[in-house]
Amino acid sequence: MTVTAKQCQRLASAEQGIISDCMTRLGIFGWMDGIRPINGATGGMAGKARTLLFGPKRGSDGFSKSTYALVEGLDPGDVLIFAAAGTPENLMGDNVATFAQQHGLAAIITDSMVRDAAGMNGLSMPVYARGITARIPVASEPVAMDVPVACGGAQVRPGDVVVGGLDGVLVLPSSRVGEVLEELPDVEKVEAELQALIANGARASEIEPVLKRKKAPRAKT
């Protein structure tokens, strides 16, 4: 199912916690654990996932394309996912990230480490990772492009919509983005009501019914 740029913009502008509540309403699982923004570009983003699977080095039959060639073949607004099973090695630095920014990618996300903190901080494109390290990538290599992967504990398939922000990364199946967007205004309304109650000193007995509404799918009209 094709996801539009307008849909991605709406998701990028929404609070991640609200999107997560929508996912819970709909029974969607797609939370990356331990993956955080590691540079100063921490605004919301959303884009189509393009996956790059890494694995242990074999010493033969290596992947034929460089990371730069892969990036060059992506579309503006895509999100490049490096799935590396949490290796402690760095799989990219600021040169790759800068090249990706120049080609209009929305973000790069990895469950590995990255390097070049100073250079990363100068970019407007967000980079999400487990952290920063100078450890050289001597034991990992690319295996396959645009295949289903696990990254940060979430299953990611090519074409999924990936949403990132200060709270981390969410993964939405492309076939269910429309459902999430339908729930979004209602959850935003309930959340605003909940915050107003708390700000005005409401009692638990007043808050709890609103919490129940927050968890229940929107009534169809």
pTM (predicted TM-score): 0.92
Q: Is residue 119 part of a domain?
A: yes
- Using a 10 angstrom Cβ sphere, with 0-12 exposed, 13-18 middle and 19 or more buried, the burial of residue 24 is middle
**What domain range is 101 assigned to?**
29-172
Q: Are residue 63 and residue 95 in the same domain, yes or no? A: yes
As a whole number of angstroms, the distance between CA 19 and CA 14 comes to 7
**What sign for the dihedral angle of Cα 101, 171, 150, 63?**
negative
Residue 8 inside a domain? The answer is no
* Tokens describing residue 123: 């970019």
pLDDT in tens, the chain (221 residues): 689 999 999 999 999 999 999 999 999 999 999 999 998 777 799 999 999 999 999 888 878 889 999 999 999 999 999 999 889 999 999 999 999 999 999 999 999 999 999 999 999 999 999 999 999 888 899 999 999 999 999 999 999 999 999 999 999 999 999 999 999 999 999 999 999 999 999 899 999 988 888 888 776 65
Is residue 192, in this structure, part of any structural domain at all? yes
Domain total in the chain: 2
Q: Are residues 34 and 69 in the same domain?
A: yes
**Residues 33, 129: one domain?**
yes
Does 124 share its domain with 203?
no
